[in-house]
A = this chain, B = another copy of it.
């Protein structure tokens, strides 16, 4: 029995990068594919009155320092040696996520997601700069001119908003969020439980 697995992602989340790097192994072990759904994390935050941790906990002594340490340990334990914090963080992701809508529509989302997540979290590029965005896509072998043109179109803008609203309506308040069937999991630390749930539903 096949299982629906969704990854609501925004390229601006370092934890979406980390999750992305682990997902292919989970896909191999479970023989199930994750469907990536591009959303706008800033929109999710607005719709749910949530905030990113760096703002939410900015006045809490030690908390963000600790979470940075925990992320470093996670990267170490999973041999994700190419990760580096983006020096331009936080980067506005509207342009890149609109491009993801185009990529999903035209059948190259996984290539696009991989390329843009690396650009953000391995190369530290300022992906909200149109020229840097264009060059990153072009260097990655994508048709940057076409994508840059399509992201101006209203249907693309509307689809990203619709994805974001639909995610929030389902209970999503941050990224990465996963659904296995109707079961929701938040955060990279839940990936092990996502895998267990996939196996549970497959054998159900």
Which A residues fall within an 8 A CB radius of B? 47-50, 56-57, 59-63, 65-66, 69-70, 73, 77, 168, 171-174, 184-186, 189-190, 193, 196
Closest approach, in angstroms, between the C-beta of A198 and any C-beta of chain B? Answer: 14
A59 to B, closest residue via Cβ: B49
Q: Which residue of B lies closest to A51 (CB)?
A: B60
From the candidates B69, B168, B186, name the one contacting A184 in the complex (CB within 8 A).
B69
A60 in complex: contacting residue of B49, B57, B70, CB < 8 Å: B49
* A196 contact set on B, CB distance < 8 A: 77
**Cβ-defined partner of A62 (8 Å) among B56, B73, B171, B193:** B171
Q: Are A61 and B189 in contact (CB under 8 A)?
A: no
- 29 CB contacts below 8 A, A to B, read A47-B61, A48-B60, A48-B61, A48-B62, A48-B63, A49-B59, A49-B60, A49-B61, A50-B57, A50-B60, A50-B63, A56-B56, A60-B173, A61-B168, A61-B173, A62-B171, A62-B172, A63-B173, A63-B174, A66-B173, A66-B184, A66-B186, A69-B184, A70-B185, A70-B186, A70-B190, A73-B193, A77-B193, A189-B189
Closest to A67 in B: B186
- In the complex, what residues of B have CB within 8 A of residue A49's CB? 59-61
Cα–Cα, bound, A150→B184 (Å): 48
A128 and B186 CA atoms in complex are apart in Å by 34
Q: Are A171 and B66 in contact (CB under 8 A)?
A: yes
Known: A61-B168, A62-B173, A77-B196. 4 other contacts (CB 8 A): A50-B63, A63-B174, A70-B186, A73-B193
